[in-house]
Amino acid sequence: MQLTDVIGILVETVVLGSIYGLVAIGMTLIYGTLRILDMSQGSMVMIGSFVGWGVMVVAGWSPGLAIAIAFLITFALGTFTELVSVQPLMGRRGFDFEMVTFITTFAVAIVFANLALQIFGPFQKNVSPVVSGGIDIYQGVDLSYQNLTMALVSIGLMAALGLFLTRTRWGLAIRAVAQDLDAARLMGVPVMKLYPLTMGLASALAGIGGVFLGAKFFAYPGAGDLPLLEALIVVIFGGLGSLPGTLYAAYAIGLIQATAEVVVGTTWSLPILYGIILLVLIVRPHGLRGRPEEARL
Amino acid sequence: MSATTTAETAVPLASTRIGRGRTMSVAEKAGVVALVALAALIPLVWSNDYAIGVIVTAMITLVLNTSWNFVLGIAGVWNFGQLAIYALGGYGTGLLMLHTPLPPPLAILGGGALAAAVSVLLAFPTLRLHGIYTSLLTFSFAQVFLFIVVNDPAGLTGGSFGFPTVKGLYSFLSPTAALHAYFWTILAVAVAATLLVAWIRSSRLGIALRTIRDSPAYAAARGISPLKYRVIAFAISGFIAGIAGGLYLSYNQSFTTSAMGLTPMSIDVTMLVIGGLGTIWGPVLGTGVLTGLQVSLVDYPGIQLTILGTILLVIVVFVPSGLVGLLSQIRRRISAWVAEDEIEDDVGVERGGS
């Protein structure tokens, strides 16, 4: 392996890891507070990519506006998803809540993907790069401004989320609910308002991720499938519900995938990822930073 | 965020008390026998080959779903790798049919045995995992298997072009006679698989599995070995799934990678949840209802999945315990209502008599 390969891998790791982090951190946030695995996150990425296409290509407006509009639309849709697929199931008994919400959010994802198929058709839509141009870092290793912006905005958004969770009233409330639902309720946290907010916020992050991914690849109805799968791998690898774990995992997965792409080619990168996940879960059953759900006997 | 509590995750799967369960009355048993007999008459009275074919495919799916329900619903292991086991049964059967002189029924049993063996290997790593982590591990296994088949280096499976054509079970019959023969064979297998799972569910093995599912600590305290019971459960479930795969290959005379992957998986899991996870009638109802829905929406290809997704969402939100849960609720209401009525009648009689 040449030095250029190594630098190329590192650049790709930062770019991929940041995007994975942005999409996956929403899933972790949702799992931490609501104890559900939100399968509609992938469709938010897809919707974000279409918003990016609509705003930047069709309407010809600026990328900043595309991000803002994607944020609003996916926030609204995420809230809506929570209200129709999770809220009605809260507090009812006689079924496995995690399994059933897994199915309902998946149903929402099926509906979104097929509505997009009806409205926009199955063809991939090219989206102009959010920013054009790039710099040559080292002997032919390119870093496009597109990728750089993507990484920087993702990292900025994750930092903003961190500040929101540690500094604001609503953020503290979300963390309180994640730590101890009953105690948070007793302290007067309006839990039923917090859940839609959490899911809206997570969906909005995925939506912004979608704007970037749409510009990097294409906008099409299946644009959310692979990011969903990758985000799932990241959150479980990192340990469900652990935000730092998710961040480490996002970059670790980015590194694995970037290395696999260079060493063995793109086709093998996903199966190799799955193979590594198999091994990691056998050795560390709760991911990198997850906690055991119960004391083992 | 990191200090998450875990109490909420351990929501008991069902409020049902674990026991041998309600035994069926003689009338109910007779009803089931009559139902199976009626189903067996379908090919004789209905000469629509398309409809018969749809039912045959649905019954193969039912066998697969029964095996999946056993490990997912009854044993409570979030196994999302079952389609790979199913496909292993299919490919194993196909290889035995192509390369050995074994008669087709034995080839299908061989496919089932191969599937059971791999399923047992999959059982070991799941022992250390819980809930959603198990699903990722098993799903990863299925994806790796799918990838190996698609990029098959040895050329055994035919990759994404599908398995080379095999003769199947009834190549010596005319097409219509073969279709009918498949119908009865697969109906018999579906009934046998359902009866087997029903019997296991209320046996010692089933009670042990449900105890491990609902209360691992209690199971451990009573000396129930998760290793032993889970290996047995995976072996049985894998065998049934492998037989389903072998029947699929035999009926379609081939096996393609389209039988695996995310879409068929989501449809099968939907069938299980809509029917009622962990119940005996759940797979039957779920497979029937969803197949009916898919067939009735065939004329609207564009919005078919949108409607299907919406119906799925509505059913699951209103009846999260599945159709079986809904039906038993209704039955309980009716019997409570009948009991009330009887009391009123008694009171009325007494008044009339005085």
CATH number of A3-283: 1.10.3470
CA end-to-end span of chain A, whole Å?
46
Mean pLDDT over each residue of chain B, to the nearest integer:
83
Convert the pLDDT of each residue in B181-221 to its tens digit. Answer: 899 999 999 999 999 999 999 899 999 999 988 888 888 88
Q: Do B313 and A85 touch (CB under 8 A)?
A: yes
> How far is B313 from B325, CA to CA, in rounded Å?
17
Cβ B108 vs Cβ B243: under 8 Å: yes
Of the candidates B268, B207, B211, B212, which has an alpha carbon nearest to the alpha carbon of residue B68?
A: B268
The nearest alpha carbon in chain A to B278 belongs to: A95
> Which residue is listed with tokens 């998760």?
B226
Q: Do A32 and B4 touch (CB under 8 A)?
A: yes
Mean pLDDT, range A172-193, rounded to an integer: 84
The nearest alpha carbon in chain A to B316 belongs to: A104
Q: Do B144 and A241 touch (CB under 8 A)?
A: no
Convert the pLDDT of each residue in A72-108 to its tens digit. Answer: 999 999 999 999 988 888 877 777 788 788 888 888 9
Q: Which two tokens stand for residue A128?
A: 């102009």
Residue A121 sits at the chain B interface (C-beta within 8 Å):
no
Q: Do A267 and B320 touch (CB under 8 A)?
A: no
Extents of the domains making up chain B = 34-260, 261-354
Cβ B169 vs Cβ B185: under 8 Å: yes
Give me the sign of the Cα torsion angle A66, A104, A30, B129. negative
- Residue with the larger pLDDT of the pair B19 and B286: B286
Nearest to B313 among A107, A225, A292 (CB): A107
Whole-number pLDDT of residue A89: 85
| Contacts within 8 Å (CB) and 24+ apart, A156-161 | A157/A22, A157/A205, A157/A208, A158/A18, A158/A21, A158/A22, A158/A25, A158/A247, A161/A25, A161/A29, A161/A201, A161/A205
- Work out the pLDDT band at A1, boundaries 50, 70, 90: low
Extents of the domains making up chain A = 3-283
Cβ A223 vs Cβ A46: under 8 Å: yes
- Work out the pLDDT band at B2, boundaries 50, 70, 90: very low
- A226 class by beta-carbon count within 10 Å (0-12 exposed, 13-18 middle, 19+ buried): middle
Of the candidates A66, A55, A45, A59, which has an alpha carbon nearest to the alpha carbon of residue A116?
A: A45
Q: What is the largest CA-CA distance in chain A?
A: 62
Mean pLDDT, range B42-58, rounded to an integer: 86
With contacts defined as CB-CB under 8 Å, which chain A residues touch B320? Answer: 89, 92, 94-95, 100
Residue A159 sits at the chain B interface (C-beta within 8 Å):
no
- What is the reported pTM? 0.80
DSSP A123: S
- Among A residues 95-114, those touching chain B with beta carbons less than 8 Å apart: 95-100, 103-104, 106-111, 113-114
Residue A36 sits at the chain B interface (C-beta within 8 Å):
no
